[in-house]
Each structure stands twice: as structure tokens, then as C-alpha cells.
Amino acid sequence: MDNPGIQVLVWILALIALAYLFFAIYTIIILFDFRSKLRKRLVALSVLFAEKKEMLLSLYELYVKAKLPLSPEIKAAQKTVEALATEPKTEEEVMVIVTTFADFQRRLALLAEEERYILRHQDYVSYTNSLKDLENNYQRIVAAYNTDLNGYEYWRKRIAYRWLSWVFGFRKRRRLA
């Protein structure tokens, strides 16, 4: 290899390969970081879901103590919420939990509107205020999750390293609503 043109070409190719390798490692490190952040957000949601489940079931117990007429649908929804696991591992599990809670909460709110005297009960006011706070916290966690998801998806979809992210198991994830 006495030809200086070939030596320069080999050096340039080696530098390009080294730069590609460096950015590939950097991309994978960033993806692992985002995956960790997304998992932490799901853990935060599981804590929030456990609190919300407790609040909703306490509100239901208040209705039972107040001898409100509980329909079979409300009783069935209460059983569903009581049996619901609050530790989501995927976005789909989060959506199942959210819709189950929303359905139960809506049913309880409609019953409270029908039986207006419960609206003045001090425990009812306390539970509904706590539920509003939990909803605000849920919105904050979802916003942070979706922000982290945007970063995750950006790095996962980088064309030059898409194959590498697939090899390491970085798959498409869904946004939370």
C-alpha cells in the first residue's frame, strides 16, 4: 500500500466507521436512558392509581353507609375496581385502568347528583377534592411521560441506527391520553 491516495481513503473510511460506531453507542445509551425514564413514569402512575383506587372505594363505602340506592351496575363496577391491579407495565394497561376508574367515578358522580344530600357530606367533599388532585397529578405525569416518549421515539427512529434500536428491543410505544 504505497499509494498515498489509497491510504488516505482507508483513513477516511476508518474515521467514518469510528464516528458511526461512536454515535451508535451514544444512541443506544440515550435510548436506555429514555426507557428507564418511561418505566419510572409508569411506577409513578401505579402509585397514583393505587391512591385513586383507594379514594374511589372509600367514596363507594360512604355511599353504602349513607344507604344510597346502589344499582347493580355500580356494584359490578365496584367489584371490577376492587379486583383491578394498579401496576401497569404497558400503555395499554394504563388505558384499561384509566377507563375503568373513569367509568366507576362517573357512575358514582351520577348517583351523587341524583341523591343531592350526599353532596353536602364532609367526607364526600374531601374525597372529591382528593380525586381532583389525583386527576391533576395524573395529567402532569402523563405530560412528562409523553415528553419522554417523544425523545425515545426520536432516537429510536434515527434512520442510520434504526436496525440497532430494533436489535436492542426498543419498540414503538404509545402515547398516553
Residue type, 123: D
Of 138, 62, 64, 69, the closest CA to residue 99 belongs to 138
For residue 135, being part of any structural domain is answered with yes
Q: What is the pLDDT of residues 3-61, one digit of tens each?
A: 888 999 999 999 999 999 999 999 999 999 999 999 999 999 999 999 999 999 999 99
Its sign, for the CA torsion 22, 23, 29, 32, is: negative
Q: What is the pLDDT of residues 113-142, one digit of tens each?
A: 988 888 888 999 999 999 999 999 999 999
For residue 25, being part of any structural domain is answered with yes
Helix (H) or strand (E) holding 92: helix 91-114
What CA–CA distance (Å, rounded) separates 22 from 14? 12
pLDDT the model gives residue 18: 96
Of 66, 55, 60, the closest CA to residue 108 belongs to 60
Domain that holds residue 148: 4-167
For residue 106, being part of any structural domain is answered with yes
For residue 172, being part of any structural domain is answered with no
For residue 173, being part of any structural domain is answered with no
Into how many domains does the chain fold?
1
For residue 48, being part of any structural domain is answered with yes
